[in-house]
Structure 1
């Protein structure tokens, strides 16, 4: 299958904002206020959704992560909200919600370390998504002095946990917005082994400054990933969606020379795409979308 054929094959999984419903509105209808960075799980007749709430820089940034539940995948009731203060974090970014094989739940949280450009990932575990306790958190991806780690995508396949995370260089604070996606595996989702960079930007292309995997599907002998990309530091927060693929989850190749999906407004931001297969059939898309007023809302579509 050629790259063009591959993109066409996957077009049915790409966002079409004209078909979307708004699942979560931003807290304020103004630039810099966001509801987004979703992670969804279908279980027990519901769709469970974790997402980040954000204010502008200087007003709190990613101030909370909400966990919600919906019977129809569109209208959500909030089960619990975790604040940045409870996580001893300067900001929170994309969460990852996972149902473990024994029926318990995990919430992986991307936490900005106070007063630095560093990010780490911590995990909470509970018997029910309404019961996550920040006091019981455990650091699972600490990063290091040279690297910030956040925005995990986790897929369990057989006995192996697969993880893709956005990694940022910290040596020069002015360059810390750059990002690549690294890949790791685990037997339990807690102790991870890194296998290097799976996806990075292409010089001179629309994704040159950063690539952040947002969703992954295993299709036979290949791996398909949707990712957020940007060309410059000025496009930070307004990433657009691209597609990458490969036969090795540790080596993904971008497909096409342009974004596969973007907003028609402002900076074109359409990012953090997540895909959820429904037990009744079909797939739900969740993603963060830039509105004309500069706010970001969380949208959903049914395929």
Structure 2
């Protein structure tokens, strides 16, 4: 594989959004970003510690110069009757509409479901009416979808948590589904499962899906134990030439992590650029234990010039 891969370097990253407080439990992150009309838009989650608000809101913002963002819509958890909100998925549809798939926690349980907001503009998402599109069930919690429209169809990879064992609901696989309209989904099985005994042996969660040299690839969050919940690190997996093929995790170690706290660098959203590079957004653990939303631009290498002929 010789193509550029969306692996954070961190050295040139800037803060796109700060957490709503300092210290462990305060987060700004779980981003989902798109490039529309030459402008990057990013949706992300704001969170406070458990007992102080938890996942309070999803935010939709427009990128501005210097790596920061300008907020255009804020959607609170009260809209959905949810105990907490997790990673949203921001989608610009083929017909020019905007969709926000919102991960919602069922009060008093470990269950999650996904609601959809749809509007003509990013700003309009703030007033859109929620519609449940991924309800989960009494045995499975569903959240954190990654959604791609390709080949006239909708493709989804979601984090699914089994609810069959009390106090073990943090386990997770990534499951694959398709849809003709992005509303009604058909599940097709596991896209990526944990690797027992390795750094990602407790759970895996896709965060971005993209093509590399005609092959489907994904970044994913992984953790080795329940103790690493909230401090996942980033891995890389490759699929086949069609979206529905099973993905294979690459390497024996994460490809990116934070030097602080538990090492968390997670929810990497990779936006392919017209020049072959990527704009990255991701959630990074700071030295004080809070998580901030960072962004960086990866440019493709400049091709070497052929030596001039001598006469």
TM over 0.5: yes
Q: Give the TM-score normalised by structure 2.
A: 0.91
| TM-superposition CA deviations, 1:29-78 (whole Å, max 9, x none) | 21110000001111123211100000111211111001111244712111
Match of 2:203 in 1: 210
Structure-1 separation of matches of 2:24 and 2:40: 29
Instruction: Kindly indicate whether residue 137 of structure 2 is the aligned counterpart of residue 171 of structure 1.
Output: no
- Matched positions, count: 296
Structure-2 separation of matches of 1:236 and 1:73: 32
Q: CA deviation at 1:279?
A: 4.5
Structure-2 separation of matches of 1:72 and 1:283: 16
Match of 1:137 among 130, 139, 145: 130
Structure-1 separation of matches of 2:64 and 2:14: 15
Q: What does residue range 55-94 of structure 1 map to in structure 2 within 5 Å?
A: 55-72=48-65, 74-94=67-87
Q: CA deviation at 1:135?
A: 5.7
Gaps of 5+ in 1: 1-5
Structure-1 separation of matches of 2:26 and 2:4: 29
Structure-2 separation of matches of 1:134 and 1:61: 22
Q: What SS does structure 2 have at the residue aligned with 1:85?
A: helix
Q: CA deviation at 1:218?
A: 2.3
Match of 1:97 among 90, 94, 97: 90
Instruction: Kindly indicate whether residue 256 of structure 2 is the aligned counterpart of residue 261 of structure 1.
Output: yes
Structure-2 separation of matches of 1:148 and 1:64: 20
Structure-2 separation of matches of 1:51 and 1:210: 22
RMSD, aligned α-carbons: 1.5
Gaps of 5+ in 2: 299-311
Q: Which has the larger radius of gyration?
A: 2
Q: CA deviation at 1:80?
A: 1.1
Match of 1:289 in 2: 284
